[in-house]
């Protein structure tokens, strides 16, 4: 169960990591059934992006959407 502060810190770290990629559009923190999750918006989703983005980081779930 991640708090908003923990999820936002992970979001900012991911923003710094992925902001140089062309497929990255942005990310937001949303409430989830067990706390908060991060949704990463992208132009496309393929296997390369799925390999780069881990499904969880520090107990915060990560989702990728188009």
The whole domain housing 61 covers 4-65
Instruction: Give me the number of domains the chain comprises.
Output: 1
* Beta strands, E only, 1-66: 24-32, 35-42, 56-57, 60-65
pLDDT score recorded for residue 34:
82
CATH number at residue 37: 3.30.300
Query: pLDDT per position in the chain (66 positions), as tens?
Result: 789 999 999 999 999 999 999 999 999 999 988 889 999 999 999 999 999 999 999 989 999 999
pLDDT score recorded for residue 30:
95
pTM of the model: 0.87
Query: Cα–Cα distance between 57 and 66 in angstroms, integer?
Result: 20
pLDDT score recorded for residue 9:
96
């Amino acid at each position: 169960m991640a708090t908003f502060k923990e999820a936002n810190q992970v979001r900012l770290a991911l923003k710094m990591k992925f902001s140089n990629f062309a497929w990255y559009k942005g990310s937001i923190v949303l409430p989830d059934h067990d706390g908060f999750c991060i949704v990463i918006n992208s132009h496309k989703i393929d296997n390369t992006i799925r390999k780069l983005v881990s499904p969880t980081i520090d107990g915060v779930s990560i989702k990728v959407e188009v």
